[in-house]
C-alpha cells in the first residue's frame, strides 16, 4: 500500500520541475474553455504499476478532469490495449501528460521486468527481492512497483537493518569484529546481514552468528557449497550478475533469496501513450 502523502510530495515536486512558471505552449495556444477526450494506450505488452499515481497527477492539477481506467495495478496489458480514457480541460490534460506518463511508464517497466524474473522461478521456493539501487527520490514508488510485479522488498533504507559489506569489513578489520560491534550497539530485534565473497568469509560469518548472509558474485557451484555449509544457521541471499538466463540455476542452488539491482536501476520504461481522440 502506498502512503499518498508521500506520493503527492513526489508528484508536486515533479510538476514544479516541469512547469515552474506554467506551460508556455499550452497557455499560449489553448483556450481556457476548451475540452478534450484522450485515450491511454499500451504500445507493448507488460504489467501495469502506478495507475493510482497516474490518476493522482491529474487530480492535483485539475479536479475537473474525469478518468476511467479499465485496468488496475498488477494487470497484464497487451499492445494496443486501451488502458483508460479521460476527459476534461485540454490545457490541464496537456500540463499533466508528461509527468503522469513518466511515472506510469517507469513503474510499469519495473513491474514488468520483475515479473519476468519471478515467472522464471515461480515453481521454486525462493524470493526475488530488490535493492537500494533506486532512482533518488522515487524509492517508495519503485519498491511498490517491484511488489506489484510479484517481487519482494529488501531493506528500505540504511536505517532498517545492519548490512555489513566489503568496505565495512575493510574499515573495521574483519567480519567477526564487525558483527561483534554491531551486536553490542543495536536492539535485539534488529537483524545483521553480511556480504561474503568466498567460503572462508562465509564460515567466519556463520561462526559469528550472522542472521543473513549475502553471497556476492559467487559461481553457482560455490553457492551450492555455501548453502550446504549454512543450512539451518542463516538465511542465504544470492546477489550479483543475476540475469534471466542464469536465475533458474541460481535458484536451484537452494538459496532463500535472490536480490536483483537491475529491476530498478536498469529497467526499460513500458511504452504507453496518451492520445487525443
For residue 251, give the nearest of 122, 162, 70, 80 by alpha carbon: 122
121 is in an annotated binding site: no
Distance CA 262, CA 75 (A): 22
112 is in an annotated binding site: no
131 is in an annotated binding site: yes
98 is in an annotated binding site: yes
122 is in an annotated binding site: no
Would you please indicate which residues are annotated as catalytic (active-site) residues?
98, 133, 165, 195, 216
127 is in an annotated binding site: no
240 is in an annotated binding site: yes
230 is in an annotated binding site: no
241 is in an annotated binding site: yes
56 is in an annotated binding site: no
216 is in an annotated binding site: yes
Residue stretches of the annotated binding site: 98, 131-133, 155, 165, 195, 216, 239-241, 260-262
Residue stretches of the annotated binding site for substrate: 98, 131-133, 155, 165, 195, 216, 239-241, 260-262
Amino acid at each position: 500500500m502506498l502512503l499518498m502523502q508521500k506520493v503527492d510530495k513526489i508528484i508536486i515536486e515533479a510538476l514544479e520541475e516541469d512547469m515552474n512558471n506554467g506551460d508556455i505552449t499550452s497557455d499560449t495556444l489553448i483556450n481556457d474553455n476548451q475540452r478534450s477526450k484522450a485515450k491511454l494506450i499500451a504500445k507493448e505488452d507488460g504489467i501495469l504499476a502506478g495507475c493510482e499515481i497516474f490518476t493522482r497527477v491529474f487530480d492535483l492539477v485539475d479536479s475537473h478532469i474525469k478518468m476511467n481506467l479499465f485496468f488496475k495495478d498488477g494487470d497484464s496489458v497487451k499492445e494496443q490495449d486501451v488502458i483508460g480514457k479521460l476527459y476534461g480541460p485540454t490545457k490541464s490534460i496537456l500540463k499533466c501528460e508528461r509527468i503522469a506518463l513518466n511515472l506510469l511508464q517507469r513503474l510499469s517497466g519495473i513491474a514488468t521486468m520483475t515479473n519476468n524474473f519471478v515467472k522464471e522461478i515461480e515453481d521454486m521456493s525462493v524470493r526475488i527481492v530488490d535493492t537500494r539501487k533506486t532512482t533518488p527520490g522515487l524509492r517508495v514508488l519503485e519498491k511498490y512497483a517491484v511488489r506489484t510485479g510479484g517481487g519482494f522488498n529488501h531493506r528500505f533504507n540504511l536505517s532498517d537493518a545492519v548490512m555489513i559489506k566489503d568496505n565495512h569489513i575493510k574499515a573495521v578489520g574483519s567480519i567477526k569484529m564487525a558483527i561483534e560491534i554491531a551486536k553490542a550497539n543495536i536492539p535485539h530485534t534488529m537483524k545483521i546481514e553480511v556480504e561474503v565473497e568466498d567460503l572462508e568469509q562465509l564460515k567466519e560469518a556463520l561462526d559469528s552468528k550472522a542472521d543473513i548472509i549475502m553471497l556476492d558474485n559467487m559461481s553457482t557451484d560455490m553457492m551450492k557449497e555455501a548453502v550446504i555449509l549454512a543450512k539451518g544457521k542463516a538465511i542465504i541471499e544470492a546477489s550479483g550478475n543475476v540475469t534471466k538466463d542464469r536465475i533458474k540455476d541460481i535458484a536451484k542452488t537452494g538459496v532463500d533469496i535472490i536480490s536483483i539491482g537491475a529491476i530498478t536501476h536498469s529497467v526499460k520504461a513500458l511504452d504507453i501513450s496518451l492520445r487525443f481522440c
